[in-house]
Copies of this chain bind each other. A is one copy, B any other.
Amino acid sequence: MGSFFGTVFRVATWGESHGGGIGVVIDGCPPRLPLSEEDIQIELDRRRPGQSSFVTQRKESDRAEILSGVFQGYTLGTPIAILVRNTDARPEAYEEMREKFRPSHADFTYQAKYGIRNWEGGGRSSARETIGRVAAGAVASKLLRKLYPDIQIVAFVSSIHDIDASIDPLVVTREMVEANPIRCPDPSAAEKMAERIRQARSEGDSVGGVICCVVKGVPPGLGDPVFDRLEADLAKAMLSLPATKGFQIGSGFAGTRLRGSEHNDPFVPGPAGTIVTTTNHSGGVQGGISNGQPIIFWTAFKPTATIAKTQQTVDVKGNPTDLAARGRHDPCVLPRAVPIVEAMTAIVLADHSLRQKTVDVLPPLPTSNPHRSTQSQI
């Protein structure tokens, strides 16, 4: 029962890497949203395998079919079902995984939990599962752009292995991200990252890295204390992605080394009667609620577990053995994970945007103050 996500904007994803397909059902998307298969395809194409030499060479066109919930180009308010067929499945490449547990992969834990597993290509634990998230994220993004015309959700690769991009996250645009196949907006770092990935691949190895995500144009007020704080739901969304090991927002772990007087973000009057902060150690969220500043967070992705190098492991009977993975896999998941991070971010924000519609329903208090007006934008 872990494949349902969200409270109002709800998604249910399904599918294994080597079954009939992958998909998602979205319930709670408001009616009257213009939506086409093309809206979804654009995002799916960004996560598709085979885009460059840095990612898996599996050949999947990953065509999205909208099966329900859209009529004459608009959402109906009823569930939106989206299907992507699997076509280039080659289960024979995984025959060895039937008998052996890949180190640091999900083979052993799926077997321990379920007492059965689809060993053809990783089954449900395959990153192919994220197709449903990306499709739902495309719908969420479309909704968010209708609700907040200025919203921008931009993720990018900020490090690969020990190579760090040198860039101000706040100036990054999607164009800068898409300018190279690494999806790192610092071209010089991107080149080094590409070389590092090539090298890892040639050695039958893999590398990880960090993705940064920035959201601009979200009004104050999103997030629902205490358990559904905005950063809590973002953290859950990120750590629910395959291969993630960490999340930090605003000042993150480094901020623990500052003093309160250094870390606090002073408030000052902003344009048009708004209130803004002069620094953003908070990362756009205070007390679990967006404060109108850019939301900025980082997600750590470990090096891909499936590698061609020979590794020590055990077989399903528990006997020691070794394994050199065949099958097609990414030597580095980060370039393709960029649209996935954006998709999960959009899903969380769409959900909280609709939730806030249930909060702001009664008239202002009699003794109003001007800053309640910020809320009416929500």
Contacts and interface: CB of A to CB of B under 8 A. Distances in A.
A7 interface: yes
Interface in A1-41: 1-5, 7-10, 12-16, 19-23, 25, 27-28, 30-33
A125 B16 CA distance: 31
Nearest to A67: B20
A357 to B, nearest CB: 5
B27 A1 contact: yes
A289 B106 contact: yes
Contacts of A358: 1, 8, 28, 30, 354-355, 357-358
Contacts of A81: 14-15, 20-21, 23
Number of copies: 4
A359 B8 CA distance: 10
B372 A115 contact: yes
Nearest to A161: B257
A208 B281 CA distance: 13
A264 to B, nearest CB: 4
A123 B112 CA distance: 40
B266 A313 contact: yes
B244 A247 contact: no
B229 A239 contact: yes
A302 interface: yes
A117 B363 CA distance: 15
Nearest to A306: B260
A360 B303 contact: no
B27 A25 contact: no
B2 A318 contact: no
Contacts of A250: 245
B289 A109 contact: yes
B116 A32 contact: yes
Given A147-B361, A365-B74, A109 B291 contact: yes
7 contacts: A77-B113, A78-B124, A103-B266, A109-B221, A206-B259, A246-B247, A246-B253
The 8 closest A-B pairs by CB, nearest first: A106-B287, A2-B224, A246-B248, A206-B260, A2-B228, A1-B28, A236-B236, A112-B220
